[in-house]
Chains A and B, each alone.
Chain A
Amino acid sequence: MKSLLCLFTVSSFAALAFGLWIPFKALIAQELLELAWAESQARQQQVRPWPWADTWPVARLNFAEPQQSMIVLDGAHGESLAFGPGQVFGDGGRAGPTVIAGHRDTHFKSLEHLKRGSRLRLQDRDGQWRSFRVSATRVVDSRHQLINTDALPEDALLLVTCYPFDGLESRGPLRYVVEAVATSSGYPSVVES
Chain B
Amino acid sequence: MLRTYSLSMPAHRQSKRTTLLDRRRVRRIMEGVSLWLAMLLLLFVQPIFAEANEREQGVGQLRFVDNQGRATESATLINTDYQVDVTGLIADVHLKQTFRNPSQNWREAVFVFPLSEGASVYGLTMTAGERRIVGEIREKAVAKKEYAKAKSEGRKAARVEQQRPNLFTTHLANIPPGEAIVVELDYQQAVRYQSGLFELRLPTTMTPRYMPGKPLNQNPFAGPRQWQGGWATPTGEVPDADKISPFTVRRSDLQPDSHNATVVMNINAGLPVSRVSSPSHKLNSTWNGHSVEVTPEQTTIPMDRDMVVRWAPARGMAPSAAVFQEQWQGEDYLMAMMIPGLESEQRIARELVFVIDTSGSMAGESIRQARQSLMRGLGTLGPDDTFNVIQFNSQTASLFMGSVPANGNNLARAHRYVRNLTADGGTEMAPALDAALQDHRVETVAGNQRLRQVVFITDGSVGNEAALFRQIRQQLGDTRLFTVGIGSAPNMHFMREAARYGRGTYTAISSTSDVKRPLDELFGKMESPVLTDIQVDWPQSGANQNAQPRRIGDLFLGEPMVQVVRGHQPNGRLTMSGRLPDGSQWTETLNLENAALGSGLHRVWAREQIDGLLAARTLGQSKGEESETTVQAQVTALGLEHQLITPYTSFLAVDKTPARPAESALTSDSVPTLLPAGSSAGMLRYPQTATWAPLMQALGLLGLMISGAIGLLRRRVFV
- On A, residues with C-beta under 8 Å from B are 5-6, 8-23, 76, 81-82, 86, 88-89, 99, 101-106, 108, 135-136, 138-153, 156, 160-164, 166-176, 179, 181
Contacts and interface: CB of A to CB of B under 8 A. Distances in A.
A160 to B, nearest CB: 6
Interface string B181-202: 0000000000000000000000
A167 B47 contact: yes
A10 to B, nearest CB: 5
Interface string B344-365: 0000000000000000000000
Lowest 7 A-B CB distances belong to which pairs? A16-B700, A12-B703, A19-B696, A139-B69, A19-B697, A166-B47, A146-B683
A89 B15 CA distance: 50
Contacts of B12: 6, 9-10, 13
Given A138-B67, A146-B231, A146-B683, A101 B695 contact: no
B54 interface: yes
A179 B703 contact: no
Contacts of B47: 166-168
Contacts of A149: 683-684
Nearest to B66: A139
Given A16-B700, A170-B690, A171-B688, A151 B707 contact: no
Interface centre among B233, B249, B672, B684 (most CB of A within 10 A): B684
Nearest to A21: B3
B692 A16 contact: no
Contact of B16 (A6, A22, A135): A6
Nearest to B70: A139
B253 interface: yes
Nearest to A12: B703
B691 A105 contact: yes
Contact of B51 (A82, A88, A150, A169): A169
A167 B672 contact: no
13 contacts: A9-B12, A9-B707, A13-B700, A15-B699, A16-B697, A18-B696, A19-B699, A101-B686, A104-B689, A140-B65, A145-B227, A147-B684, A153-B221
Contacts of B64: 141, 144
Nearest to A102: B689
Given A13-B704, A86-B687, A21 B4 contact: yes
A106 B693 contact: yes
Given A18-B696, A19-B699, A144-B672, A164 B688 contact: no
A168 B684 CA distance: 25
A175 B697 CA distance: 22
A3 to B, nearest CB: 10
A14 B690 contact: no
Interface in B30-83: 46-48, 50-51, 54-55, 62-65, 67-69
A108 B698 CA distance: 20
Contacts of A170: 688, 690-692, 695
Contact of A153 (B15, B219, B247, B707): B219
A22 B689 CA distance: 13
B490 interface: no
Interface residues of B, number: 68
Given A5-B714, A12-B702, A173-B63, 9 more contacts: A16-B700, A17-B700, A106-B691, A148-B684, A152-B220, A164-B54, A170-B690, A171-B688, A181-B221
B11 interface: yes
Nearest to B9: A10
A104 B8 contact: no
Contacts of B68: 139
Interface centre among A89, A151, A175 (most CB of B within 10 A): A151
A148 B232 contact: yes
Given A145-B231, A147-B684, A152-B220, A167 B11 contact: no
B698 A139 contact: no
A16 B694 CA distance: 9
B374 interface: no
B231 A162 contact: no
B253 A143 contact: yes
Given A6-B15, A18-B4, A146-B683, A105 B693 contact: yes
A156 B47 CA distance: 32
Contacts of A141: 63-65
A166 B50 contact: yes
A160 B7 contact: no
Contact of A81 (B253, B689, B701, B703): B689
A139 B1 CA distance: 33
Contacts of A156: 221
B681 interface: yes
A173 B54 CA distance: 12
Interface in B224-249: 227-228, 231-233, 247, 249
B694 A168 contact: yes
A147 B683 contact: yes
B703 A9 contact: yes
A17 B8 CA distance: 8
A172 B690 contact: yes
Nearest to B6: A17
B581 interface: no
B693 A22 contact: yes
Given A15-B700, A140-B686, A151 B7 contact: no
B659 interface: no
A143 B249 contact: yes
A101 B706 CA distance: 37
Nearest to A172: B690
B698 A148 contact: no
Nearest to B19: A2
B441 interface: no
Contacts of B50: 164, 166-167
B711 interface: yes
B710 interface: yes
A158 to B, nearest CB: 10
Interface centre among B54, B69, B690 (most CB of A within 10 A): B690
Contacts of A22: 691-693, 696
Given A22-B692, A148-B227, A168-B698, A5 B221 contact: no
B302 interface: no
Contacts of B65: 139-141, 174
